[in-house]
Amino acid sequence: MLKQDKHPLWKADKPQNTQMSLFKTHIEKQLNIRLRDYAELHQWSIDHCDEFWQQVWIYCNVVNCQAPQKTMELGQQFFETTWFPGSKLNYAENLLQRRDHHIALVSYLENGNKRELSYAELYAQVSQLAQYFKSLGLSANDRVAGIMPNTAEAVIAMLATTSIGAIWSSCSPDFGVNAALDRFSQIEPTILIGTDGYLYGGKIIDCREKFTELSEKLNPQQSIIVPLLARQNLFEHQGLLESTNQHANWDEVLTQYSADEIDFAQLPFDHPLFILYSSGTTGKPKCIMHSAGGTLLQHRKEHVLHTDLTEDDVFFYFTTCGWMMWNWLVTGLATGSTLVLFDGNPLKETNTLLDLIDLEKISVFGTSAKYLDALQKNNATPKTSHSLASLRAILSTGSPLVSERFDYVYQQIKNNILLASISGGTDIVSCFILGNPILPVYRGQLQCAGLGMDIQIFDDEGQVLVSGQGLQGELVCCTPFPCCPIGFWNDPDNRKFMDAYFNRFVGVWAHGDFAERTSEGGYIIHGRSDTVLNPGGVRIGTAEIYRQVEKVNAVAESIVVGQQWDDDVRVVLFIALKDGEKLTDKLIADIRQTVRTNTTPRHMPAKILQVSAIPKTRSGKITEKLVSQLVNKRITKLTSDNTDALQNPEVLTEYMNRAELEV
């Protein structure tokens, strides 16, 4: 158990003014009950989940053309529960309720190129593209795939797709042809949308040939190319920019149509909306289908109640179109707030995203734990270099946010903001555990389980672990929830789907996180349960080791895995060092001592090996499972199946067949 500071780092100044408090009051009045605090509200949301989700539907003003007959019908299996049977709605319509001149999207490229769209302009362009899609015969259940940067065009394409009832699926343009094919070939898109290029790290990345190759291999009915860089005259040679039989030019397509009223397809609550993908680092990625109603209702609950998002907010999350946080961010349009999009390297200049906060008056700033770690290691002091007057909340996800990063945020960024470490994932396109504007923030802890999410921590036998005793186990959800996926694409008997989430504990969703519940009611995520270390039979979450290694100044990044050795498991730590640093005996001793002093002797790495870089997925997550398979020789050959999903697959050779791992 890691000792936690029991004194809160932050408390709400006026919690009674938050939408969470107003929702609690709404529930009390509607149902004539008394709920003393969030704990009681959460328990009520679990015990009366049908009433709870009905009230979320009402409170968050879900636009629909046909009201539900009831809230839920339980099925034989957890995921067979039918939500809001009889209702009909459209996801895009809910995001496009606001149609005035308030700014909907502010889109930045890495070179500072800025574009703004009002809600009225956004609606008009969605209408134009939807009309073009319909002229091609696109209809409900068809797929539209985008290999797109995080720009306004990606949002417009998604909204046009879903306005018709077609299914949207996307990845970022840094995906290679094979990685994109691994995803899109499974869903056979009717329309493919891409970009002529993008900017990253000060470089112009030309995507025209790649897009042509991808289009030829997927053979969609139509492909559309966005002239993102051609508009700025960044290409020496144009080419592929005029509409041809092979590609349509985005700008030319939109000018063919006037901005008519959109005929939003009204479809059942569980109609498919998005197809997202598992990481694909150990085989072809799974195609996870999410429903329109489940995604919308869950995101509305998380934005309105847990993030306190309103139409007056400016909302930012650093993400790519290949990460579920993009989908989560874009649903923010349903609140009528302004979304800020950024495409490029957030750390090309340390101040890039910090400057955006002041320039656009961002109030809710979403990022990753790695970004905050990089700021600290760059000795950034935003509280003195920037105003940050508009900023009221920082959200962090992607990996556990360690206690020291909480200290950094409150000491060097801003001391009177809500810092919410949130956790969920692609599997549910949302969160299990997240922030709360009426609860205090404790060092190193995620604030609370989301309303309506029956979160427990199980031991290996499926028994609930007692909170506050440092006991770690599997994070599970015991009862159905609306954003449960409706299945995997091309998995007709749901066998792969069942194996992914329900084979660990019967009738219970096992999320794959190794976690504990604290005495304050918060949570600590200790890493993925499938990469938990087990030296001497003691289960150790990898995050416990990372938070100690990060204290060692010479270390830039690290990855830790367990190696089968001498009828046991030993801890192997790979480290990438900062420029100018060398792996000496003294540094090895310092790392081991830091880990041992602050944890236990079993946490201490048996092997510490230097590498040039840590392998990561294209959404920036380290690939513990793949490295573990390499170290334990369960993978002996690198193929496209285990490399195409990575942003730096070339470093994997440094983890294979190392002589140091044989002694």
Q: Which residue has the tokens 């003294």?
A: 586
Res. 536: pLDDT tops 90: no
Neighbours of 118 (CB within 10 A): 17
151 touches 158 (CB < 8 A): no
Determine the average pLDDT of the residues in 296-301: 98
The 3-state secondary structure of 386-416, one letter per residue: CCCCCCCEEEEECCCCCHHHHHHHHHHHCCC
Report the relative pairing of strands 197-200 and 167-171 from DSSP bridges. Answer: unpaired
Neighbouring CB atoms inside 10 A of 130's CB total 27
Mean pLDDT of 17-45: 97
Count CB atoms within 10 A of the CB of residue 204. 14
Q: Is 656 exposed, middle or buried (0-12, 13-18, 19+ CB in 10 A)?
A: middle
CATH superfamily label, 532-662? ANL, C-terminal domain (3.30.300.30)
pLDDT at 19 over 90: yes
Q: State the pLDDT confidence band at 3, using cuts at 50, 70 and 90.
A: very low
The residues pairing with 199 across neighbouring beta strands, listed in sequence order, are: 204
Question: So what's the architecture of 119-268 in CATH?
Answer: 3-Layer(aba) Sandwich (3.40)
pLDDT of residue 657: 81
CA dihedral over 218, 221, 227, 228, signed as positive or negative? negative
> Token pair of 141, please?
């259940």
Contacts 24+ apart (CB under 8 A), 371-379: 371/318, 371/346, 371/347, 372/396, 372/401, 372/405, 372/408, 372/409, 373/405, 373/550, 374/347, 375/350, 375/408, 375/413, 376/404, 376/405, 376/408, 376/412, 377/556, 377/578, 378/347, 378/350
Beta bridge partners of 421: 396
**CB-CB contact of 560 with 586 (8 Å):** no
Highest mean pLDDT among 68-72, 308-312, 320-324: 308-312
pLDDT at res. 638: 82
Whole-angstrom distance, CA of residue 256 vs CA of residue 608? 61
Encoded tokens for 482: 């609306």
The 10s digit of each residue's pLDDT in 455-505 is 999 998 999 999 988 899 999 999 999 999 999 999 989 999 999 999 999
pLDDT band per the 50, 70, 90 thresholds, residue 242: low
Over residues 300-308, mean pLDDT:
98
Compute the chain's Rg from CA coordinates: 24
Tell me how far apart the alpha carbons of residues 622 and 279 are, in angstroms, rounded to a whole number.
Answer: 11
Say how far apart CA 164 and CA 141 lie, in whole Å.
Answer: 9
Reading the block at residue 255, the tokens are 């000018």
Q: Which of 607, 596, 506, 518 is nearest to 561 (CA)?
A: 607
As a 3-state breakdown, the chain gives helix, strand, coil percent values, each rounded to 5, of: 35, 25, 40
Cβ 496 vs Cβ 488: under 8 Å:
yes
Bridge partners, 313 (sequence order): none
Which residues are CB-contacts of 663 (< 8 A; sequence separation ≥ 6)? none
pLDDT band for 57, please (50, 70, 90 cuts): very high
Spell out where 50-122 has E strands: 64-66, 72-73, 82-83, 88-89, 103-109, 114-118
Residue 82 has pLDDT above 90, yes or no: yes
State the pLDDT confidence band at 407, using cuts at 50, 70 and 90.
very high
- Residue 319, both tokens: 């993400």
Which residues lie below 8 Å from residue 12, measured CB to CB, with a gap of 6+? 18, 418, 437, 438, 439, 440
Domain boundaries, the chain: 119-268, 532-662
- C-alpha 633/C-alpha 122 separation (Å) is 51
pLDDT tens figures, 225-237: 999 999 999 887 6
Among 517, 544, 641, residue whose Cα is nearest residue 602: 544
DSSP run (H or E) holding 298: helix 292-300
Q: How far apart are CA 661 and CA 573, in angstroms?
A: 11
- Write out pLDDT tens, residues 429-459: 999 999 999 999 999 999 999 999 999 999 9
Q: Residue 598 pLDDT more than 90? A: no
Q: What is the mean pLDDT of residues 626-644?
A: 83
pLDDT at site 569: 86
Map tokens 């427990």 to a residue: 456
Torsion of CA 16, 22, 24, 30, to 10 degrees: 140
10 Å Cβ neighbour count for 642?
Answer: 20
Q: What are phi and psi of 243, to 5 degrees?
A: -60, 135
Q: Can you tell me the distance from the alpha carbon of 96 to that of 118, in angstroms, rounded to the nearest whole number?
A: 11
Q: Which residue has the tokens 């028994």?
A: 463
User: Of the candidates 640, 622, 515, which has an alpha carbon nearest to the alpha carbon of residue 655?
Assistant: 622
